[in-house]
Amino acid sequence: MKNMIVVSGGTKGIGRAIIQKFCGNGFDVATCSRNKEDLEKLKIEVESGNPEVTVHVMQADLSDKAQVKSFAGFVKETGITPAVLVNNTGVFLPGTILEEEEGALEKMVETNLYSAYHLTRQLVDDMIAAKRGHIFNMCSTASIMAYPNGGSYCISKFALLGMTKVLREELKEKGLKVTAVMPGATLTASWEGVDLPEERFMRSEDVADAVWSAYKMGDRSVVEEILIRPQLGDL
């Protein structure tokens, strides 16, 4: 049976680069996004470049628990137990804790943390039964350091790193690997409109390469954390 990777929020940036990397190595993929048109474009692009690969797409907003469950059901309907799960869904709303808009905390915790929590819980039993699998949680340098205007985004990413550490402890005896990925400033949609040169940002493809390398590690080893920053430092 073919390997499959599940990537939440896979139509742009790091999620898209990870899909392209794994599909280029023969993986089928299941992914979701809030934008149906972006999903259809991704499916056409990836399948045309990788004729042996199937891209399963579903429109879903994973900040909503009910839609997380619907997406998990969609994944299970493929009949393939995921070899890799990448919890990549995220949102960044800049602001300080004292001044950000009401509801910012709830929005970012629901999107950045709860989506990963609920999707993992929905899919992990099948991975445990298969006694193999690798879960990557897309954290951030904001998971380990606060910065100006980070506000509730930093809170949500600190929490996601904590969840990742707990998962690692719970799953290590069951044959599953868990890795926290903490990229610094990467050239994605989150940085659109910022007046900074492109060379100050990391490439999404570099993060995808790091994820692939961690996945390919031998069975007796695990990369628990991947911390990547721009060569010239944080922005």
SS3 133: coil
Band (pLDDT 50/70/90 cuts) for residue 117 is very high
- Confirm if 136 and 211 have CB atoms less than 8 A apart: yes
In this prediction, residues 79-86 reach a mean pLDDT of: 97
pLDDT above 70 (res 193): no
Looking at the chain, the whole-number percentage of residues with pLDDT higher than 70 is 97
Q: What is the dihedral of CA 192, 60, 111, 18, to 10 degrees?
A: -60
Distance CA 29, CA 4 (A): 5
φ and ψ at 62, to 5 degrees?
-80, 5
For the chain, list the strands marked E by DSSP: 4-8, 28-33, 55-59, 84-87, 134-138, 177-183, 225-228
Q: Which residue has the higher pLDDT, 234 or 227?
A: 227
**Minimum mean pLDDT among 34-38, 95-99, 184-188: which range?**
184-188
In this prediction, residues 203-217 reach a mean pLDDT of: 97
In this prediction, residues 79-105 reach a mean pLDDT of: 97
pTM of the complete model:
0.95
Please tell me the predicted confidence (pLDDT) of residue 189: 66
Please tell me the predicted confidence (pLDDT) of residue 188: 74
Band (pLDDT 50/70/90 cuts) for residue 197 is confident
Please tell me the predicted confidence (pLDDT) of residue 235: 78
**Minimum mean pLDDT among 1-5, 24-28, 103-107, 116-120: which range?**
1-5
Looking at the chain, the whole-number percentage of residues with pLDDT higher than 90 is 90
Residue in this structure with the two tokens 């550490």, named with its chain if needed: 165
Neighbours of 204 (CB within 10 A): 21
Q: Report the residue count for the chain.
A: 235
Neighbours of 187 (CB within 10 A): 20
Please tell me the predicted confidence (pLDDT) of residue 13: 94
Give the pairing type, strands 4-8 and 55-59: unpaired
Please tell me the predicted confidence (pLDDT) of residue 190: 62
Please tell me the predicted confidence (pLDDT) of residue 126: 97
Please tell me the predicted confidence (pLDDT) of residue 191: 64
| Cα within 13 Å of Cα(52), Cβ side | 10
Amino acid identity, position 161: L
Please tell me the predicted confidence (pLDDT) of residue 234: 86
8-state DSSP, 97 = T
In this prediction, residues 37-59 reach a mean pLDDT of: 97
Residues 122-180 have pLDDT tens digits of 999 999 999 999 999 999 999 999 999 999 999 999 999 999 999 999 999 999 999 99
8-state DSSP, 191 = G
Query: 175: left (phi > 0), else alpha (psi -120 to 50), else beta?
Result: left
Please tell me the predicted confidence (pLDDT) of residue 20: 98
Q: Catalytic amino acids?
A: 153, 157
> Residue 93 to residues 145, 149, 151, 178: CA-CA distances in angstroms?
17, 9, 8, 27
